[in-house]
């Protein structure tokens, strides 16, 4: 019987070979976003805890990350898609020093599925690159992702730099360690706890 628990196990053990087969079966009974939220994120949190406790090591963390990516890449093709209606442009990326991008990619997929144009710069992006892209693309929203306590401080730098240039852009932030309080403290215009929240905030800011 295909189940979300099986998907948890495959991601925790970093086993990619059975993922496609399992997802095809799961998609017959659950929505893609449900599988992302309930099938991919919990095992990543679990492996993160095990890693923090020293019970698993970097190679396992990497295998789990790869397995999660593989699952997400398949699921995102099944997300219902709205037409692109020039709803707005968002420049998105993970800040300098940080290579975590699974969450950022989920945020991107949802925004695109809601009809926004997303310029995804990728990961490990310096402030200057974010600012140049906002100018070039005429973006209304800049989205920053950071997963570590050591890199979330970089968000503050990006915000300061863009305010210095008086860019007419709203900045939203998110990622594992980021909190609403921290977002407010560094002068962000919005904070998304998860990808669904990120879409809601973008919708509110662009109203």
Residues that bind ligand B1M (CB under 6 A): 41, 44-45, 47-48, 51-52, 58, 61-62, 64-65, 97-104, 106-107, 143-145, 147-150, 172-177, 192, 194-195, 198
Taking the least distance from each CB to ligand B1M, the nearer of 156 and 194 is: 194
Mapped onto helix, strand or coil, the DSSP state of residue 68 is helix
Q: Residue with the closest Cβ to ligand B1M?
A: 103
Taking the least distance from each CB to ligand B1M, the nearer of 28 and 197 is: 197
What are the structure tokens assigned to 11, written together?
């991601």
Element (H, E) at 91: strand 89-94
Taking the least distance from each CB to ligand B1M, the nearer of 28 and 157 is: 157
- Cβ at position 85, least distance to ligand B1M in Å: 21
- Cβ at position 8, least distance to ligand B1M in Å: 13
Q: Are 99 and 130 in contact (CB under 8 A)?
A: no
Exposure string of 35-52, with b = 16+ CB inside 10 Å and e = fewer, is: bbeebbbbbbeebeebee
- Cβ at position 179, least distance to ligand B1M in Å: 10
- Cβ at position 130, least distance to ligand B1M in Å: 11
Taking the least distance from each CB to ligand B1M, the nearer of 27 and 148 is: 148
Taking the least distance from each CB to ligand B1M, the nearer of 51 and 78 is: 51
Q: Phi, psi (5° rounding) for residue 36?
A: -65, -50
DSSP assigned state of 207: -
What are the structure tokens assigned to 33, written together?
């976003």
Taking the least distance from each CB to ligand B1M, the nearer of 101 and 154 is: 101
Q: Are 148 and 98 in contact (CB under 8 A)?
A: yes
- Cβ at position 1, least distance to ligand B1M in Å: 26
- Cβ at position 99, least distance to ligand B1M in Å: 4
Q: Are 51 and 61 in contact (CB under 8 A)?
A: yes
Q: Are 80 and 86 in contact (CB under 8 A)?
A: no
**Nearest-angstrom CA–CA distance, 43 and 198:** 22
């Amino acid at each position: 019987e295909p189940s979300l628990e099986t998907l948890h196990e495959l991601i925790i053990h970093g086993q990619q070979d059975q993922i496609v087969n399992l997802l095809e079966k799961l998609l017959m009974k659950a929505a893609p976003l449900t599988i992302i939220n309930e099938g991919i994120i919990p095992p990543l949190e679990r492996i993160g805890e095990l890693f923090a406790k020293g019970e698993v090591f970097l190679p396992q963390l990497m295998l789990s990350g790869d397995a999660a990516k593989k699952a997400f890449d398949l699921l995102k093709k099944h997300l219902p898609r709205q037409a692109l209606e020039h709803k707005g442009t968002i420049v998105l990326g993970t800040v300098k020093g940080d290579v975590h991008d699974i969450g950022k990619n989920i945020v991107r997929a949802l925004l695109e599925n809601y009809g926004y144009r997303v310029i995804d710069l990728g990961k490990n992006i310096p402030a200057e690159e974010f600012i140049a892209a906002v100018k070039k693309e005429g973006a209304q929203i800049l989205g920053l992702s950071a997963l570590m306590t050591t890199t979330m401080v970089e968000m503050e730098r990006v915000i300061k730099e863009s305010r210095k240039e008086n860019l007419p852009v709203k900045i939203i932030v998110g990622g594992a360690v980021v909190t609403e309080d921290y977002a407010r403290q560094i002068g962000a215009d919005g904070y998304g706890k998860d990808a669904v929240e990120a879409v809601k905030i973008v919708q509110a800011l662009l109203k």
